[in-house]
Amino acid sequence: MYRLIKPIFFQFDPENVHHFVVQRLKWFNDYFPFGKTILRSSFGVHIKGLEREVFGIKFKNPVGLAAGFDKNGEYIEALSNLGFGFIEVGTVTPLPQPGNDKPRMFRLQDDKALINRMGFNNKGVDTLAERLRILKQKDPTLVVGGNIGKNKNTPNEEAVNDYIKCFDRLFDVVDYFVVNVSSPNTPGLRELQEKEPLTLLLKTLQDRNHKNGISRPILLKIAPDLTNEQLNDIVDIVQTTGIAGIIATNTTIDRDGLYTPEKISKEAGGLSGKPLAKRSTEVIRYLSERSKGSFPIIGVGGIHSAEDAKEKLAAGASLVQIYTGFIYEGPGIIKNICKGLLS
């Protein structure tokens, strides 16, 4: 069915279509008679043998939804009923911010890709925290990750304070944290990936993490555009600070080898989807081999099929996340990947 309606959706602005679809998904899940049951029976993953425990958390299956799709945690329950093993919300910032000017998302259909320059548009950490508090009371079995960042107007030398605010506010309502310093759409943000500021940021959060005898896994989301030398630094930082692991990778600023005409493919922003698949797998494999598998990796980037997911897992990932593949392949992709992983 999705193949029939996708061409219609793809005639309209991708950001507008996104909001249209998820709002109706939420309505169907929350208010349509037997809506939850229909979603679970049609798309839910009820397959044994997919469960796994990673950084102390039990996942019912290894296929998650990457950050950016549900920035404000408004659609978690409905999305979970589509079969995701875990959902990552955000990126969230301390204060609400509108993000970059529209249009800020573009489809590259010939490449099965997206370019976005959203700019951390979100309603702020207080709104997200309250929504997650209610959700966790309703269904504590949901595995939710909190992806945190800094406000656009916060200078890098004060960025650690923004991450602390988000960390403290979400601590009681998320299962794990993701520190996002790799988005290309917030000016200067990627400078925080350099060894000295990144070590300071992660050490500060880790000190806070162990303060009250309870801790949450902290992961670092990195860019695919890092050199091997920079990846070596990332391995050292993970091992020095003791964070739980890595998410590899965020979107790329590289535009090599695209089929889509330059009018669209040269738009500023981060590229996701099929063109990212090879590089993200290379980064996963490099980190896994360099670290000798000493920390878990969540693989994301260009996963559109079970074979794509298998490549990430074979390269050293413990879990995978999808975003662009979900848009291009439809909601059946989660179940298809999970079935494929057992074949």
Separation of alpha carbons 294 and 13, rounded Å: 43
Which structure tokens are listed for 138? 């309703």
Separation of alpha carbons 168 and 9, rounded Å: 39
Of 80, 183, 280, 318, the active-site residue reads 183
Candidates 19, 52, 62, 22; CA nearest to 39 is: 22
Residue 280 falls in the annotated catalytic set = no
Separation of alpha carbons 251 and 302, rounded Å: 10
By the 10 Å C-beta count (0-12 exposed, 13-18 middle, 19+ buried), 266 is classed as exposed
Which structure tokens are listed for 42? 């049609």
Separation of alpha carbons 104 and 116, rounded Å: 6
Helix/strand/coil percent split, the chain, to 5: 45, 15, 40
Q: Which residue has the tokens 């990947």?
A: 337
> What is the four-CA torsion angle of 60, 215, 283, 316, rounded to 10 degrees?
-40
Among all residues, which ones are annotated catalytic? 183
